[in-house]
């Protein structure tokens, strides 16, 4: 049995396929980003999933595509966690850009992720080429959930947010300064915590203020994570993630401004991953 996963910082979607490629199980765990989460937390998120316990000895292959898996050390750490739980499985851990690429195209193109975090790469149809290392939610992650969460919090405290929107923001979230600082500096998952404030823009009607915030973030992403690739003007640029899906109209505007061809925009890459692995199973059986 083959277990595949698309993992972010907020959540991980899991699909179990049988030997013929049929879906046996769909489940979800909390995020498993090895760059920001402790080993104990990731272990607990795997072990507390009851459905995993049913199949843990039957799984023969695990393919995990996740945020924070772009460098050797965190990738090896997460691989060891899976190997200790799925004791009969070969484990492959790859960066989430692979999942995004498999979900949106089989042809050469740029593939971008805008979710809790953000990333970009060039996909040649087979391999992913990430030329700009991500330094995470503090220094990078333009146009991501945590980027927009930080922007909203700053605007609220600097009183740059329109009064009517600030009133709604205060009603919907705990904006006590000590609470915010504790969650950012002392609690687990500060990137996920920041990203949950971005939901404020997703849940409420789009306003001029929200449009300006989104435009600025998406332009920053294009300038820093797309345009430095010389291929960006030659191939389609695809997007994956909840922020990308919500801000598709903004992305279209910015792509036109920079004369970039916009490709597919997909909210969740897991469906594309299922198809990719089902096709692999078919090829192996020929």
pLDDT in tens, 88-110: 999 999 988 888 998 899 899 99
Residues 251 and 275 in one domain: no
pLDDT at residue 268 above 90?
no
Residues 168 and 261 in one domain: yes
pLDDT in tens, 212-236: 999 999 999 999 999 999 999 999 9
pLDDT confidence band for 178 (50 / 70 / 90): very high
Residues 192 and 146 in one domain: yes
CB count in 10 Å sphere of residue 234: 12
Query: How far is Cα 60 from Cα 22, in angstroms, rounded to an integer?
Result: 15
Percent of the chain with pLDDT over 70: 100
Structural domain count, the chain: 2
Average pLDDT of the chain is 93
Residues 195 and 73 in one domain: no
Average pLDDT over residues 29-57: 92
What CATH number is associated with residue 189? 3.30.420.40
pLDDT at residue 269 above 90?
no
Residues 42 and 147 in one domain: no
What does the pLDDT read at residue 111? 96
Residues 9 and 111 in one domain: no
pLDDT at residue 286 above 80?
no
What does the pLDDT read at residue 225? 97
Contact 273, 245 (CB under 8 A): no
Residues 230 and 256 in one domain: yes
Average pLDDT over residues 57-80: 91
What does the pLDDT read at residue 202? 87
What does the pLDDT read at residue 10? 84
Query: How far is Cα 150 from Cα 156, in angstroms, rounded to an integer?
Result: 10
Residues 20 and 64 in one domain: yes
Residues 173 and 280 in one domain: no
Residues 144 and 183 in one domain: yes
Average pLDDT over residues 35-44: 90
Residues 118 and 260 in one domain: yes
Average pLDDT over residues 46-59: 93
- Confidence (pTM): 0.82
Residues 116 and 253 in one domain: yes
Structural domain that includes position 48 = 2-101+269-285
pLDDT in tens, 189-212: 899 899 999 999 988 899 999 999
Query: How far is Cα 79 from Cα 67, in angstroms, rounded to an integer?
Result: 13
């Amino acid at each position: 049995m083959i277990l595949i996963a698309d993992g972010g910082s907020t959540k991980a979607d899991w699909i179990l396929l049988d030997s013929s490629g049929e879906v046996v199980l769909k489940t979800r765990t909390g995020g498993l980003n090895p760059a920001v989460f402790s080993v104990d937390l990731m272990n607990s998120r795997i072990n507390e999933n009851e459905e995993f316990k049913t199949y843990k000895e039957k799984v023969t292959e695990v393919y995990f595509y996740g945020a924070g898996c772009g460098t050797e050390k965190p990738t090896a750490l997460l691989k060891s966690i899976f190997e200790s739980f799925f004791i009969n499985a070969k484990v492959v851990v790859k960066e989430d850009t692979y999942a995004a690429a498999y979900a949106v195209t089989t042809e050469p193109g740029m593939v971008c992720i805008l979710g809790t975090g953000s990333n970009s790469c060039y996909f040649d149809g087979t391999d992913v080429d990430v030329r700009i290392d991500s330094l995470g939610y503090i220094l990078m992650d333009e146009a991501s959930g945590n980027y927009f969460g930080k922007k909203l919090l700053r605007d609220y405290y600097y009183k740059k947010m329109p009064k009517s929107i600030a009133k709604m923001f205060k009603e919907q979230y705990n904006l006590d300064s000590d609470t915010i600082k504790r969650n950012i500096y002392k609690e687990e998952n500060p990137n996920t915590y920041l990203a949950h404030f971005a939901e404020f823009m997703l849940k409420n009607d789009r306003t001029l203020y929200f449009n300006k915030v989104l435009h600025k973030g998406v332009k920053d992403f294009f300038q820093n994570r797309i345009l430095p690739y010389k291929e960006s003007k030659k191939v389609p640029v695809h997007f994956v993630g909840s922020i990308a899906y919500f801000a598709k109209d903004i992305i279209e505007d910015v792509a036109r401004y920079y004369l970039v061809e916009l490709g597919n925009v997909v909210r969740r890459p897991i469906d594309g991953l299922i198809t990719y692995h089902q096709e692999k199973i078919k090829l192996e059986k020929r």
